[in-house]
Amino acid sequence: MSDLRFDGRVAIVTGAGGGLGRQHALLLASRGAKVVVNDVGGSVAGEGRDAGPAETVAQEIRDHGGEAVADTHSVATPDGGEAIVRTGLDAFGRVDILVNNAGILRDALFEDLTLELLEPVLDVHVNALFHVTRPAWRIMRDQGYGRVVNTTSAVGLLGSPRKSNYGTAKAGVAGLTRVLALEGAGHGIKANAIAPIAATRMLTQHLGDTADGRPRHDAATTAMMDAVVGSLDPALVSPVVAFLAHEDCPVTGEIYTAGAGQVARFFTGRTRGYHHPALSMEDVRDHLAEIRDETGYTVPDGPGEEIAQLLRVIAVQSQRATE
């Protein structure tokens, strides 16, 4: 089988001045894509600006014989999103691939969450998907081809304390990915998401000391985590992103977790549940184990299939009642 390449394709990678985004940009460029390396160059909390990281990565790509242009607009505003996509059009004449990767963290307990801790996180992770993806989407629709790879997180899918802002945003990313997949289906556009695990400055902050400088874990746990973190090279996430961004990608609307060279799929399952035509509170209490039992769960591909499953249960029960 031949190598997968992106010759003639133009990719935008947001937040590509470091961490995961840099690796995604380097891999796509090494396989022939022309890349817009977008990054505001801020801190993990999204403070400050520095044009250096985006330009450094773009230069690194050019030094290796690739084609890249730096872009320092913020994904967090509609104007920024339009400008990022415009950079791709002006430099390379088209946009085929959008990797929504930019991210920040502003952790706090739910009761301590201020608007300053909430709004920038929603802006960079979830509102940005509208700001950057909509202008790119219009181009993809017109050309009848596109690949969108979003970045969600286990925090959004499974939850994590002190991250109500981030978890909400990342759950939104997962939901939007499903909708984009459906709306893109008739237009040659595929949209998928990754939930990465990688040793970047963001993960280090997540695992490191608490905000007041106290160690979050005991020494043994910290030593074990250091060993695990050592195997979490962000470059091992990028092959999953690049495959989802490739013309040959057969899937859409899916979420893949990737870290340390392992790839797996997250999905939303539905238990078989319990049905009673005159359901009472006590039925819920008395049948909770059956309601929660994961044996024979299904993975509905949309709300229509879920309703169809419900209607089948009702039909079977009514049939039994008349027998």
> CB nearest ligand NAI: which residue?
19
Beta carbon of residue 281, minimum distance to ligand NAI (angstroms, whole number): 39
Site string for ligand NAI, 54-93 (x = CB under 6 A): --------------------xxx-----------------
Verify binding: residue 151, ligand NAI, rule CB under 6 A: yes
Residue 107 binding ligand NAI, by CB under 6 A? no
SS (H, E, C) 85-99: HHHHHHHHCCCCEEE
User: Is 166 a residue of the active site?
Assistant: yes
3-state DSSP helix/strand/coil % of the chain, to nearest 5: 50, 15, 35
- DSSP assignment, residue 217? S
Of the residues 149, 203, 236, 240, which one makes contact with ligand NAI according to CB under 6 A: 203
Q: Name the segment binding ligand NAI (CB under 6 A); options: 174-182, 190-198, 276-284, 309-317.
A: 190-198
Query: Per the residue annotation, which of 166, 256, 274, 297 is the catalytic one?
Result: 166
Structure tokens at 253: 């609307």
Q: How far is the CB of 286 from ligand NAI (least distance, A)?
A: 39
Q: What are phi and psi of 311, to 5 degrees?
A: -65, -35
Residue 96 near ligand NAI by CB under 6 A: no
Q: Does 103 bind ligand NAI (CB under 6 A)?
A: yes
Say what the alpha-carbon torsion angle 168, 222, 198, 51 is, to the nearest 10 degrees. Answer: 80
- Name, in order, each residue with C-beta under 8 angstroms of 16's C-beta and a sequence gap of 6 or more: 22, 24, 25, 35, 37, 38, 39, 54, 57, 99, 101
Question: Of 122 and 310, which CB lies nearer to ligand NAI in the complex structure?
Answer: 122
CB–CB of 124/102 below 8 Å? yes
Cα–Cα distances in angstroms (integers) from residue 47 to residues 28, 102, 169, in the given order: 28, 13, 19
Least Å distance, CB 48 to ligand NAI, is 9
Angle CA(236)–CA(237)–CA(239) in degrees, nearest 5? 85
Considering the complex, state which of residue 184 and residue 196 has its C-beta at the smaller distance from ligand NAI: 196
In the complex, least distance from residue 158 CB atom to ligand NAI, rounded to whole angstroms? 11
Pull the structure tokens for residue 78. Answer: 């509609």
Residues engaged in binding ligand NAI (CB under 6 A):
14-15, 17-21, 38-42, 44, 46, 53, 74-76, 101-104, 124, 151, 153, 196-198, 200-203
Catalytic residue numbers read 166
